[in-house]
Every structure is written in structure tokens, then in C-alpha cells.
């Protein structure tokens, strides 16, 4: 049997239905995904799940909430996404906007401290391309797992993730290689690669020894690779 390869549903099952919607999340969960990734902006005082902010100047909050994101789906709030996933999967929140950081951390604290909480702190993962955002998360609550996204191959391999105290580094499929993966593992970091959609790409990164992949098509990973146990939270690297 092959070793586990964590399937992280990228913006939900966005290869099948509108991205970052409750429908995309439900579809990914129905497929069997144990980890979901969504994007978050701060908009009009609310944490909104959406990939970009080109709408910000043209839509007030009421119109944003009624905007058709596709197939009649609305743009959800992060609270609604957390409710939808609760008890079924881990959640990776990619923060796109520095104004959202404190609010995301407060949301997580509120959810895990509720008397009837179904969420565990380690089931949340905050990621960002802006590593200053991750530093701010560390200042607010060092117990919340973080993951450092990267656009291009860094000169010092995965050292940036180690310096941040990250659980994982999330490199691009375009530049990740075996050396980077081995360096990350030496530093005790998980490696989650984005965005891996084809069988050939899956096989290539699997052979490198990566720990998980972000994919628009969760079923393509789930059909061929066993999933790690995520019942207690995001997996940590074990040599």
C-alpha cells in the first residue's frame, strides 16, 4: 500500500463547482476530503471567503452577500464555512489581507473555547504568502499552526518555514523538487504542494516524498492514495 498523501481540497472541490462556496466545501466533504483550503479577505467588517478583492470598490456588504458566485451560490462568511466543516475535516485558512489576521485568530479562539466546541485548535491551519501575516499570528497565539506559502524557490530552501515556527511549507508545483522536500523534512516541516491536478503531477510530487497536495479535484487523490489521520488535527512531520 502506498504511504499517505494528504488531499487538501483547494477552495473546496473547485474543479467541479464554484470555488470558495459552501457547495464546493460540501462537495469536497462528500468525496471524502479530510482537509479543506479557503481564501479569506476582510470586507466591510466581515471575514469573507473569496480569492480576490476586485469587487471591494463596487459592492457594498449587502450586495456582496447576494452576489451570485456561480450556480446560485452566495459568497460565504468564514463563520459559515467553519460551521459547514465542523467535525468533518481540517481547515486551512489562507489569509489574503493583513486586516483579517486578528479577526481570524479571534474566530479560532472563540470556536475552540466554546463549551460545546467540536473544533480543536490543531484542526486549523493559517497560511499566507505574506510572511508578516504569519509573524502576526505567532504574536497573537503561537499555538495556532501556520504554513508558509512560497511563489519561487528560496535561496535557503525551507529555512524560512523553520524560522517562522511553521508546521508546513507550501511550495508551488512549478518549482518544488526533491532537494527542497528533503531539506524541509530535515527541519521537521511538512510539505504541501499547490496546485496538483493531473495524475502525472501527482505521481511526480509523490515520488519526491511530499506530505500533501492542494488539488481542484479531490477524487483524483483520494482514489489512489490513503489519507493520514486528521481526527486530532493537521499531521505533523515524523521522520
CATH class of the 6-223 domain in this structure: alpha beta
Q: Does the pLDDT at position 156 exceed 70? A: yes
Cα dihedral across residues 21, 22, 24, 29: positive or negative = positive
Q: What is the CA radius of gyration of the chain?
A: 17
Instruction: Compute the average pLDDT of residues 89-101.
Output: 97
Domain ranges of the chain: 6-223
What contacts 182, CB < 8 A, 6 or more positions away? 209
What contacts 224, CB < 8 A, 6 or more positions away? 2, 202
Q: Does the pLDDT at position 207 exceed 90? A: yes
What pLDDT does 154 receive?
Answer: 76
Q: Does the pLDDT at position 80 exceed 80? A: yes
pLDDT band at residue 152 under the 50/70/90 scheme: confident
Amino acid at each position: 500500500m502506498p504511504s499517505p498523501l494528504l488531499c487538501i481540497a483547494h477552495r473546496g472541490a473547485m474543479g467541479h463547482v464554484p470555488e470558495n462556496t459552501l457547495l464546493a466545501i460540501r462537495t469536497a466533504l462528500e468525496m471524502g476530503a479530510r482537509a479543506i483550503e479557503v481564501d479569506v479577505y476582510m470586507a466591510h467588517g466581515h471575514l469573507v471567503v473569496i480569492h480576490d478583492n476586485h469587487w471591494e470598490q463596487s459592492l457594498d456588504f449587502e450586495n456582496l452577500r447576494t452576489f451570485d458566485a456561480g450556480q446560485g451560490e452566495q459568497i460565504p462568511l468564514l463563520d459559515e464555512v467553519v460551521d459547514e466543516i465542523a467535525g468533518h475535516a481540517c481547515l486551512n485558512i489562507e489569509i489574503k489581507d493583513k486586516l483579517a489576521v486578528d479577526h481570524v485568530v479571534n474566530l479560532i479562539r472563540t470556536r475552540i473555547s466554546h463549551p460545546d466546541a467540536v473544533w480543536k485548535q490543531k484542526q486549523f491551519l493559517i497560511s499566507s504568502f505574506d510572511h508578516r501575516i504569519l509573524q502576526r499570528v505567532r504574536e497573537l497565539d503561537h499555538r495556532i499552526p501556520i504554513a508558509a506559502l512560497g511563489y519561487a524557490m528560496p535561496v535557503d530552501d525551507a529555512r524560512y518555514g523553520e524560522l517562522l515556527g511553521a508546521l508546513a511549507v507550501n511550495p508551488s508545483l512549478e518549482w518544488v523538487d526533491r532537494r527542497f522536500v528533503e531539506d524541509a523534512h530535515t527541519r521537521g516541516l511538512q510539505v504541501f504542494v499547490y496546485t496538483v491536478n493531473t495524475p502525472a503531477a501527482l505521481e511526480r510530487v509523490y515520488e519526491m516524498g511530499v506530505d500533501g497536495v492542494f488539488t481542484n479535484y479531490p477524487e483524483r487523490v483520494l482514489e489512489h492514495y490513503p489519507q493520514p489521520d486528521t481526527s486530532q488535527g493537521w499531521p505533523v512531520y515524523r521522520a
